């Protein structure tokens, strides 16, 4: 099994963080392949095309797909990941094994595979997962090479009805929702591969700023507002303001002012 991370030059700073956290929390991971010419945020640049070209030239039947903003936040449960890969090598009916909690209408214990369930009534989502190369390529057949991750999810969900394969996952209780966006807002303590999505709709997911600071990283500054916010955090001003805001129940307006400053003095210009 190999690891595959599609990215592009404009996402290099985010990808570097994800790669560093991958080494920190899964130091003995399988060989990693980074596709530098594949776009993963909203643009007309190709995403699916480079992935399919790469996969058609490989012999390995299993690959673990990681988007470049998937930042590990706890150690990988390598025993579960190894068990999943072994099952997929032995049972070719399984096309996908998500390494996180994955939405499904049904979860049926898999005979002879303790701790593994077969999922039913589930969409195709590009969460961190082990893929069967041949099934991914079958789902991607006839899709445009510039297909984005989000379009791939929608089209692959429909194509999976014509070219079905089983989707399995580790058995785990339904996670508690801690707040945030969809799957990224869930408690990840039971995930085989716990990670945070560092980006949301093409912008840094600021809810993970504290996490990155604890890990020794920071989002790339988008403008003057981000720089001011970092100074406030480093000097303790941000913590004091947050305490006052919590005590009074009133929003300090810091995020609004941060956005205004970023738009007024954007660094990319």
| pLDDT at site 185 | 78
Paired sense of beta strands 199-200 and 195-197, if any: unpaired
Asked if 158 contacts 129 with a C-beta cutoff of 8 angstroms, the reply is no
What are the two backbone dihedrals, phi and then psi, of residue 97, each rounded to the nearest 5 degrees? -135, 95
* Banded model confidence at residue 98, pLDDT cuts 50, 70, 90: very high
**Digit-coded pLDDT (tens) for 102-121:** 999 999 999 999 999 999 99
State the Cα–Cα distance between residues 16 and 135, nearest whole angstrom.
29
State the Cα–Cα distance between residues 259 and 107, nearest whole angstrom.
43
Query: Which residues have a Cβ under 8 Å from the Cβ of 258 and sit 6 or more positions away?
Result: 225, 226, 228, 229
Instruction: Give the angle 152-157-87 at the CA atoms, nearest 5°.
Output: 100
Q: With 50 as the cut, is the pLDDT of residue 139 above it?
A: yes
Asked if 194 contacts 73 with a C-beta cutoff of 8 angstroms, the reply is yes
What are the two backbone dihedrals, phi and then psi, of residue 153, each rounded to the nearest 5 degrees? -55, -45
Calculate the CA 204 to chain-centre distance: 13
**Digit-coded pLDDT (tens) for 5-58:** 999 888 889 999 999 999 999 999 999 999 987 655 444 568 999 999 999 999
Residue 202: DSSP 8-state: T
| pLDDT at site 42 | 46
State the Cα–Cα distance between residues 73 and 100, nearest whole angstrom.
13
User: Hey, where are the domains in the chain?
Assistant: 2-203, 221-264
Maximal CA-CA distance, the chain: 61
CATH level 3 topology of 2-203: Spore Coat Polysaccharide Biosynthesis Protein SpsA; Chain A (3.90.550)
pTM of the model: 0.84
Alpha helices in the chain (DSSP H): 12-25, 48-56, 78-90, 133-140, 149-162, 209-215, 224-235, 237-248, 254-264
User: Which one, of 218, 248, 177, lies nearest residue 17 by Cα?
Assistant: 218
């Amino acid at each position: 099994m190999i690891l595959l991370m599609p990215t592009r030059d404009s996402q290099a700073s985010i990808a570097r963080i994800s790669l560093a956290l991958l080494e920190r929390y899964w130091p003995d991971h399988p060989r990693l392949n980074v596709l530098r010419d594949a776009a993963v945020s909203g643009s007309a640049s190709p995403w699916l095309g480079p992935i399919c070209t790469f996969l058609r030239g490989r012999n390995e039947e299993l690959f673990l797909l990681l988007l470049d903003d998937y930042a590990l936040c706890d150690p990988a449960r390598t025993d579960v990941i190894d068990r999943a890969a072994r099952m997929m090598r032995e049972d070719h009916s399984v096309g996908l094994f998500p390494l996180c909690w994955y939405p499904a209408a049904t979860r049926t214990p898999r005979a002879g595979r303790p701790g593994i369930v077969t999922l039913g009534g589930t969409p195709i989502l590009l969460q961190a997962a082990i893929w069967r190369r041949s099934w991914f390529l079958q789902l991607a057949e006839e899709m445009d090479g510039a297909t984005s991750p989000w379009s791939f999810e929608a089209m692959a969900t429909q194509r999976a009805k014509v070219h079905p394969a089983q989707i399995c996952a580790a058995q785990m209780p339904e996670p508690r929702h801690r707040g945030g966006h969809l799957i990224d807002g869930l408690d990840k303590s039971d995930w085989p591969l716990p990670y945070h999505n560092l980006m949301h709709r093409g912008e840094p997911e600021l809810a993970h700023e504290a996490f990155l600071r604890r890990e020794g990283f920071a989002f790339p500054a988008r403008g003057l507002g981000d720089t001011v916010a970092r100074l406030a955090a480093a000097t303790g001003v941000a913590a004091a303001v947050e305490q006052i805001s919590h005590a009074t129940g009133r929003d300090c307006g810091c995020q609004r002012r941060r956005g205004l400053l970023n738009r007024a003095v954007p660094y990319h210009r």
